[in-house]
Structure formats: structure tokens, C-alpha cells
Amino acid sequence: MSHTATLFKLVSVSAQHWDGVIVTQADYQSLRAIKHEFIDFRGFLRSWNDSGYGVCSGGWAGIKCLKGQVIAIQLPWRGLGGRISEKIGQLQALRKLSLHDNVLGGPVPRSLGFLPNLRGIYLFNNRLSGSIPPSVALDP
């Protein structure tokens, strides 16, 4: 009897990670473009599949969603190279971008300045040039 109760508890906890909403087409397309610009030396982005299945249910490494929109990209210490795509600016609900301690190069995307909800940007310990756009609202 207690074994069944434990199983039920595990199922209900894992169900809390998924809000039952599929990622929006616009956010899916942006994530695909972002992946295309990254060089994934260690294979951490294998879960970013071509179908878009699992983006908002915890199936895609480092992605968090709310109501079908991407609110966080968290991929620190993954050995990611390449560049950060300007398409990141199309993730209109993005609140947190954590790509620190990778080997990303190129300019910091200017499109970050167009994200109205962006509050946390962690890009240190990369090979990026330029600065975070001044239009990013980082007030409390």
C-alpha cells in the first residue's frame, strides 16, 4: 500500500513541471535558430529535437516556459561555443538568460534590448564582445 502511495506522489510531483501547454510556434522557431548558432561540443542540446516536442514540459535542457512561452534559458558550464543568435530577441516572454562559463563568441545580441521582461542576464566568462544593450530594464 505504501509503495503505491509513493508512486502516486512521484507522478504528481513530475506533473507539476508541465503546465500542459505546447510552446508557441514563434518561440520554437527562435529556439531552433539559437541552437543553429551554438556549437554544442558536449551534446547537451540533443534534447532540442526537430519536432518541438517537450520544449515546455522539461524535455529540452535548460528551457523553462510559462503558458507556452519561453521564460528562461539556463545553460551555464555546458562548453557551448558559437554565437548567441539575434533571434533571441523574438522570445518576448524571456525573463532570464544564463549562458555564463561557456566559450561563446561574437557580439552580445542587440536584440536583447527589445525584450520587455528580461531581468537576469548572465553572460560572464565567455568570449563575447560588446555590452548588454542599455535599453534592457534591470530595475527591481
Confidence of residue 53 (pLDDT cuts 50, 70, 90): confident
Q: What is the pLDDT of residue 46?
A: 94
- Please state whether the predicted TM-score (pTM) of the whole model is above 0.85: no
Residue 30 has pLDDT above 60, yes or no: yes
Pick 130 or 70 by higher pLDDT. Answer: 70
Range 99-104 average pLDDT? 98
Residue 86 has pLDDT above 70, yes or no: yes
Confidence of residue 137 (pLDDT cuts 50, 70, 90): low
Range 66-94 average pLDDT? 97
CA angle 84, 105, 47 (to 5 degrees): 45
CA 12/CA 6 separation, integer angstroms: 10
Confidence of residue 52 (pLDDT cuts 50, 70, 90): confident
Q: What is the pLDDT of residue 20?
A: 59
Look over the chain and give the mean of its residue pLDDT values, rounded to a whole number. 85
Pick 16 or 112 by higher pLDDT. Answer: 112
C-alpha cell at 125: 566568462
Residue 13 has pLDDT above 80, yes or no: no
Q: What is the pLDDT of residue 138?
A: 54
Q: Where are the domains of the chain?
A: 25-137
CA 140/CA 131 separation, integer angstroms: 20
Architecture of the CATH domain 25-137: Alpha-Beta Horseshoe (3.80)
SS3 22: coil
C-alpha cell at 126: 565567455
C-alpha cell at 113: 534590448
